[in-house]
């Protein structure tokens, strides 16, 4: 077992989990980091398995049980870990174990092997029973505990085609299996838990014999299993079929979450399996759902995914998607931590103090156990004093600072907190780069407005490992055109017969002035005012005006730029005394 620390960048926070192993990186844009850029609290154990079947968390005895369903003598054991990620023992089996289920009182662990269902005392770690199954076959079984009984699946074929053959659901009577009569093509996945003691969720794996797999619930409170609602997800054209990787029931029994590799994380009403009114936000682009688990108190949900590179593999957020809070996003991408969350690879301790995650490499030949601990406490945060801009009136194409102050309760963070901002204008939304908050709470978010007119800046603090998010603060501004200026160079005197030359330069702030600009030229003398030929502006902003005055005396030349979509107009004048 190793305990590692690694730089993490947190994209959003709610009840921030602390993750800090080598190769475990939260995604940009960063919102906060712990001291020295690392966050303690993630113990990582390299698992001695080359395939993965199931994980069971026993909060009463603080044990984590993991099975490897390889068909070899080396896999004939259940691996036992404590809540610190240390291996503390194993439970011997006669053949490779697969499915597991914990009794409602956490006193008995039921483990399937090819010849039956074993029972172990979780206090003594000794085997206390064996239920003989109807068949002794190589296919792995799912196991559930509901209604005070153990339930398991059977695929009664001497074959390696376990995923595409008929599977039956069995209960128990004494030490014998009893068929329930329920069966379907392909593997049947069972989910149960002490929080909902009488319900089994049964889901059909995607397989070659069933194009539209089902999800259903079974009431195990009586002597006979009673099926509840059933749902298939494909539409009339066959699109959207379920590709179930994991199922979790909320502790209050009201909702069921499904990790669907073809869809993401589905949230269903347990009463009728209809979609919840507010869904979870989609997983990041390129991530396929692989696991899901509710925290023991029902406050949070962990969503695992199979993704590559820096794409998040683990999202942790409030269980109620209507909260609107963004999730913590973490990417496993290291040789010491795995590359993705394994299918059915998430589990919480009952008090929510630990999240257990099994990760695997891309090939699915190596596995790791992560023990993730949330922080002990979180504190409030808030923006104070509103926002202001520097300069006071923003100009298109010129830098502007959006200034404000963030107040944090509790201990000061070891590294600066970070705030983000979004500019909204007629072109839509543009996210600005995050900035660090100074020790006194002040910050300045930088922007270069690209559009003239009204704009609104919204500044956010999404929290850090010890602070809750602050309520967003907004500022409405009017963005002006960028100013321009004309500089003239004219002679003080000229003669009517020779004429005169005026040169000058047009400059502008913000974006570069457009090509092909011409300037108006107006001459005023004792005979009146008239417009002369316009002056062309060169690429470097210079221009020349040549004129033969028509009258002696003081002659004034006014040169003007009309402006464009991004630049305001400007004028300049020069007076020349003209002699004969």
**Rounded Cα–Cα distance for residues 201 and 307 (Å):** 27
Q: Average pLDDT for residues 427-436, to the nearest whole number?
A: 94
Q: Cα dist. 129→89, 112, 121, 432 in Å?
A: 19, 12, 9, 62
Q: In this model, does residue 4 exceed pLDDT 50?
A: no
Q: In this model, does residue 439 exceed pLDDT 70?
A: yes
pLDDT digits (tens, 9 = 90+) for 89-118: 999 999 889 999 999 999 999 999 988 999
Q: Verify that 462 and 499 share a domain, yes or no.
A: no
- What single DSSP character describes residue 208? T
Nearest CA among 102, 113, 109, 44 for reference residue 75: 113
Of the three residues 464, 479, 494, the one that is the final residue of a domain is 479
Is residue 111 assigned to a domain?
A: no
Question: How would you write 209-249 as a 3-class SS string?
Answer: CECCCEEEEEECCCCCCEEEEEEECCCCCCCCCCCEEEEEE
How many helices and strands in the chain, by DSSP H and E?
0, 45
Which residues are CB-contacts of 60 (< 8 A; sequence separation ≥ 6)? Answer: 106, 122
**Domains of the chain: total:** 3
**Residues 79 and 88 sit within 8 Å (Cβ to Cβ):** no
Match 């023990």 to its residue by tokens. Answer: 371
pLDDT digits (tens, 9 = 90+) for 206-244: 987 889 999 999 999 998 999 999 999 999 999 999 999
Strand, coil or helix: what is 288? strand
Of the three residues 427, 450, 479, the one that is the final residue of a domain is 479
Is residue 231 assigned to a domain?
A: no
Is residue 366 assigned to a domain?
A: yes
pTM exceeds 0.85 for this model: no
CA-angle at 263, arms to 422 and 211, nearest 5°: 165
471: phi then psi, degrees, rounded to nearest 5: -70, 135
Match 């099926």 to its residue by tokens. Answer: 227
457 token code pair: 């800046």
Which residues are 36's β-sheet partners?
A: none
Mean pLDDT, the chain, integer? 88
**Rounded Cα–Cα distance for residues 170 and 142 (Å):** 10
Sheet holding 255-260, edge to edge: 244-249, 255-260, 264-269
Query: Is the sign of the CA dihedral 235, 239, 241, 246 positive or negative?
Result: negative
Q: Verify that 529 and 410 share a domain, yes or no.
A: no
447 alpha-carbon distance from chain centroid = 25
Of the three residues 479, 494, 520, the one that is the final residue of a domain is 479
Is residue 473 assigned to a domain?
A: yes
Nearest CA among 340, 314, 336 for reference residue 327: 314
Domain extent at residue 349: 1-51+79-96+243-376
CATH of residue 534's domain is 2.60.40.730
Q: In this model, does residue 252 exceed pLDDT 90?
A: yes
Q: Verify that 361 and 334 share a domain, yes or no.
A: yes
So what's the pLDDT on residue 183?
94
Q: Verify that 253 and 282 share a domain, yes or no.
A: yes
pLDDT digits (tens, 9 = 90+) for 521-572: 999 999 999 999 999 999 999 999 999 999 999 999 999 999 999 999 999 9
Is residue 90 assigned to a domain?
A: yes
């Amino acid at each position: 077992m190793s305990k590692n620390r690694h730089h993490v960048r947190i994209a959003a926070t709610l009840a921030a989990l602390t993750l800090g192993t080598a190769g475990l990186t939260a995604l940009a844009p960063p919102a906060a980091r712990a001291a020295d850029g690392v966050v303690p609290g993630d113990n990582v154990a390299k698992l001695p398995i080359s395939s993965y079947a199931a994980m069971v968390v026993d909060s009463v005895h603080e044990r984590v049980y993991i099975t490897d369903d390889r068909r070899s003598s080396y896999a004939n054991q259940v691996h036992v870990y404590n809540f610190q990620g240390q291996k503390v023992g194993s439970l011997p089996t006669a053949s490779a174990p697969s499915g597991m289920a914990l009794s409602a009182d956490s006193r008995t662990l039921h483990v399937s092997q090819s010849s039956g269902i074993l029972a172990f005392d979780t206090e003594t770690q000794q085997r206390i029973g064996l239920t003989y199954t109807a068949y002794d076959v190589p296919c792995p079984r799912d196991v559930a505990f509901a209604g005070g009984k153990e339930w398991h699946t059977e695929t009664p074929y001497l074959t390696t085609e376990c995923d595409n053959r008929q599977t039956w659901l069995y209960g128990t009577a004494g030490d014998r299996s009893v068929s329930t009569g329920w069966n379907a093509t392909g593997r049947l996945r069972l989910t149960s838990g002490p929080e909902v003691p009488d319900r089994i969720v049964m889901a059909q794996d995607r397989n070659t014999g069933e194009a539209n797999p089902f999800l259903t619930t079974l009431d195990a409170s009586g002597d006979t299993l009673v099926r509840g609602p059933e749902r298939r997800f494909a539409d009339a054209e066959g699109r959207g079929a379920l590709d179930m990787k994991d199922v979790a029931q909320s502790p209050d029994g009201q909702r069921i979450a499904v990790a669907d590799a073809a869809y993401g994380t589905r949230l269903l009403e347990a009463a009728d399996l209809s979609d919840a009114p507010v869904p979870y936000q989609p997983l990041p682009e390129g991530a396929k759902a692989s696991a899901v688990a509710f925290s023991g108190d029902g406050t949070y949900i962990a969503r695992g995914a199979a993704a590559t590179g820096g794409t998040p593999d683990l999202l942790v957020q409030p269980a109620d998607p209507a909260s609107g809070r963004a999730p913590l996003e973490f990417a496993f991408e290291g040789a010491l931590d795995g590359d993705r969350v394994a299918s059915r690879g998430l589990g919480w301790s009952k008090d929510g103090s630990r999240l257990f995650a099994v990760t695997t490499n891309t090939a699915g030949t190596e596995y790791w156990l992560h023990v993730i601990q949330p922080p002990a406490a979180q504190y409030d945060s808030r923006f104070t004093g509103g926002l202001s801009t520097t300069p006071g009136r923003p100009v298109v194409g010129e830098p502007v600072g959006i200034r404000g102050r963030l107040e944090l309760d509790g201990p000061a963070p070891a590294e600066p907190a970070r705030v983000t901002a979004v500019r909204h204008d007629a072109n839509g939304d543009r996210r600005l780069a995050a900035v660090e908050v100074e020790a006194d709470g002040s910050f300045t978010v930088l922007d270069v407005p690209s559009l003239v007119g009204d704009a609104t800046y919204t500044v956010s603090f999404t929290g850090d490992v010890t602070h809750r998010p602050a309520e967003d603060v907004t500022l409405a501004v009017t963005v002006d055109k960028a100013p321009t200026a004309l500089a003239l160079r004219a002679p003080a005197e000229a003669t009517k017969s020779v004429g005169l030359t005026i040169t000058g330069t047009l400059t502008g702030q913000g974006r570069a002035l457009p090509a092909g600009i011409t300037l108006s030229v107006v001459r005023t003398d004792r005979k009146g005012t008239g417009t002369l030929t316009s002056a062309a502006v060169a690429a470097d902003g210079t221009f020349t005006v040549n004129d033969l005055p028509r009258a002696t005396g003081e002659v004034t030349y006014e040169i003007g730029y009309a402006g464009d979509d991004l630049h305001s107009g400007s004028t300049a004048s020069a007076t020349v005394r003209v002699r004969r």
